[in-house]
Amino acid sequence: MAHSPTTRTLVREAYAAGAALVIACERHKVPEATARAWKQRDAGTDLDWDKLRAAHALANGGHVEVVQRILTDFLEAHAEAIRQVKEAEIAPADRVELLSRLTDALSKTMAALSRAAPKLSELGVAMEILTLLAEFVRTRHPKSAPAILDILEPFGAELVKKYG
């Protein structure tokens, strides 16, 4: 069934205002697959749904929530990347190099996000300590790096729960 441009706009506006996509779809009687196709089609344009959502949140004082969402997405991706590096069949030196790059990415991301939302600075300090510990282990005890990552990864999630 074809939907009117007005319906598409209403779904996009509901999503931009903070409704979950599935809720916006239910509210306007649109299949979720259809809304996902619309959202994908608009990605990278002036009507990019995620950009509109972020702008709406910022305009309504929700910048901390936006930063938290970015942080959560990054940490999930970071954890997956670490898991893949640990499972990959690569030379130990290459593994250490990849883990070092991931640690650097985490540090830079946390620094940028803590500037955007000072309330997250406690989390930033905690995560920086984890980063420093990971770097210390990588340089002084490289054979222990995989073991420490097994500990730091879930502990980082605990820090996010406490400070994030």
Cβ(111)–Cβ(67) below 8 Å? no
Residues 157 and 78 in one domain: yes
pLDDT the model gives residue 110: 82
Residues 69 and 125 in one domain: yes
Residues 15 and 69 in one domain: no
Domain count, the chain: 2
Look up residue 63 and give its two tokens: 């910048």
pLDDT the model gives residue 127: 72
Longest dimension (CA), the chain: 63
* Average pLDDT rounded to a whole number, residues 113-125: 68
* Average pLDDT rounded to a whole number, residues 124-147: 82
75 has a pLDDT exceeding 70: yes
Domain edge (last residue) among 58, 83, 99: 58
Closest alpha carbon to 16 in 45, 43, 55, 69: 55
Closest alpha carbon to 82 in 161, 160, 148: 148
Question: Rounded mean pLDDT of the chain?
Answer: 84
d(CA 91, CA 85): 11
Between 44-48, 65-69, 118-122, the lowest mean confidence (pLDDT) is in 118-122
pTM: 0.41
Residues 66 and 99 in one domain: yes
Residues 20 and 90 in one domain: no
Residues 152 and 123 in one domain: yes
- Output DSSP code: residue 118: G
Domain containing 13: what range? 5-58
Residues 54 and 80 in one domain: no
Residues 81 and 150 in one domain: yes
**Position 155: which residue type?**
F
pLDDT the model gives residue 112: 82
Residues 75 and 94 in one domain: yes
Residues 85 and 133 in one domain: yes
Domain edge (last residue) among 19, 37, 58: 58
Residues 100 and 155 in one domain: yes
Domain edge (last residue) among 42, 58, 74: 58
- The DSSP code sequence of 18-81 is T--HHHHHHHHT--HHHHHHHHHHHTTSTT-HHHHHHHHHHHTT-HHHHHHHHHHHHHHHHHHH
